[in-house]
């Protein structure tokens, strides 16, 4: 179980939840607060030739990943134009008719790809279903700058679905995906240093990673968070997530003390959060923090999460600096692919 939330029982049953990964949480109120708990980390030093600069950034990330599991990164090296172009494509896709969007519905494939219809899922058992819709796709070596595969594998290999009649859609979102993929690989070196490992420790884990990406649309929410959410409280599946937000607030993080904290957009930043696979491997030293979305901004909100995980055939073996005779491994060892498949199956049941 993650250590990011207290495990007491809240006085009102609606404030107690069991998440899809089995974690039990409580919170004091459905109303979020503003608090200075999510750090902003300048990661320019990860590009330095001086290992001391790289280690300095890693120590800041170590503290944030252990304490709260969420942080903003700035000076990350990705031009803001990529995000803007991705949001333009998101608006094109979600503006289509429901019939057109349903042509690529996730029900057509086994994995967690394709279109997720509006208000279909109810992750937390609220009176109304989550007020959001999304489109997911995944890693393709053709768009990986480190692989540079000449040909795109057959669609049946990945079970990806792509909309018809939106020229340039796929190419544009993969341009952004490629930038985030490069940053994620660089950041795994920083995470290795943060765990007091050799900087290249994770290199063998990320040759063909489980790098999924999502376009998400949240209409303005009129009902209270007690009755409906944009997306219900959850943790992410993989190792870590990059969240690119538009200018409208909505993301909320559950603190250890059981309060929902607003993670407001910071121009030019990317939100990073630890996900379940990393929590498992680090034996809960890194914390996979519960989060949700409530769009009370009065306007349409768009976000773009990028979910970075290890090669699907890699075993999620314990990190050597996170286990000992006094602190043995808490989780059974499974492959990344096995865990992600199980979580996708659980997520699709949340209707």
As averages over each run of 10 residues, the pLDDT of the chain (351 residues) reads 43 66 78 91 98 98 97 97 98 97 90 89 88 95 76 56 94 97 97 98 92 97 92 92 96 92 95 95 95 94 96 92 94 89 73 57
Residue 265 confidence (pLDDT): 95
Residue 146 confidence (pLDDT): 84
Q: How many CB atoms lie within 10 A of CB 343?
A: 21
What are 58's two structure tokens? 């890693």
251-254 sheet: strands from edge to edge: 231-234, 291-293, 251-254, 260-262
Phi, psi angle pair for 266, to nearest 5° = -115, 120
Residue 2 confidence (pLDDT): 38
Residue 5 confidence (pLDDT): 45
Q: How many CB atoms lie within 10 A of CB 182?
A: 15
| CATH superfamily of the 13-348 domain | B-lactam Antibiotic, Isopenicillin N Synthase; Chain (2.60.120.330)
Kindly report the pTM of this predicted structure: 0.91
Residue 156 confidence (pLDDT): 43
What is each CA distance from 114 to 106, 138, 179, 215, 321, in whole angstroms? 4, 10, 21, 10, 38
């Amino acid at each position: 179980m993650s250590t990011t939330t207290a495990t007491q029982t809240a006085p009102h049953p609606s404030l107690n939840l069991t998440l899809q990964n089995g974690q039990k949480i409580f919170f004091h109120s459905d109303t979020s607060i503003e608090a200075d708990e999510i750090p902003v980390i300048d990661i320019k030093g990860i590009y330095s030739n001086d290992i001391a600069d790289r280690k300095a950034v890693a120590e800041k990330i170590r503290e944030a990943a252990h304490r709260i599991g969420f942080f903003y990164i700035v000076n990350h090296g990705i031009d803001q134009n990529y995000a803007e172009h991705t949001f333009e494509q998101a608006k094109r896709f979600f503006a289509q008719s429901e019939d057109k969007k349903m042509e690529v519905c996730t029900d057509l494939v086994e994995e967690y790809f394709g279109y997720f219809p509006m208000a279909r899922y109810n992750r937390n058992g609220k009176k109304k279903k989550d007020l959001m819709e999304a489109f997911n796709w995944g890693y393709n070596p053709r768009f990986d700058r480190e692989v540079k595969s000449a040909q795109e594998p057959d669609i049946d290999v990945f079970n990806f679905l792509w909309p018809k009649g939106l020229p340039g859609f796929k190419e544009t979102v993969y341009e952004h995906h490629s930038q985030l993929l490069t940053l994620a690989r660089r950041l795994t070196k920083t995470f290795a240093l943060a765990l007091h490992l050799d900087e290249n420790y994770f290199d063998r884990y990320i040759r063909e990673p489980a790098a999924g990406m999502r376009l998400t649309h949240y209409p303005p929410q009129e009902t209270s968070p007690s009755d409906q959410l944009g997306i219900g409280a959850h943790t992410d599946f993989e190792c870590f997530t990059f969240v690119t937000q538009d200018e409208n607030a909505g993301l909320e993080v559950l603190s250890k003390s059981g309060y929902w904290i607003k993670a407001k957009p910071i121009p030019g930043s990317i939100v990073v959060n630890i996900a379940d696979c990393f929590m498992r491997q680090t034996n809960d030293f890194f914390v996979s923090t519960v989060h949700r979305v409530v769009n009370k901004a009065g306007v349409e909100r768009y976000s773009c999460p990028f979910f970075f995980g290890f090669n699907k055939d890699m075993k999620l073996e314990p990190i050597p600096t996170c286990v000992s005779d006094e602190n043995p491994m808490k989780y059974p060892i499974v492959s990344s692919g096995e865990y992600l498949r199980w979580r996708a199956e659980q997520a699709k049941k949340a209707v």
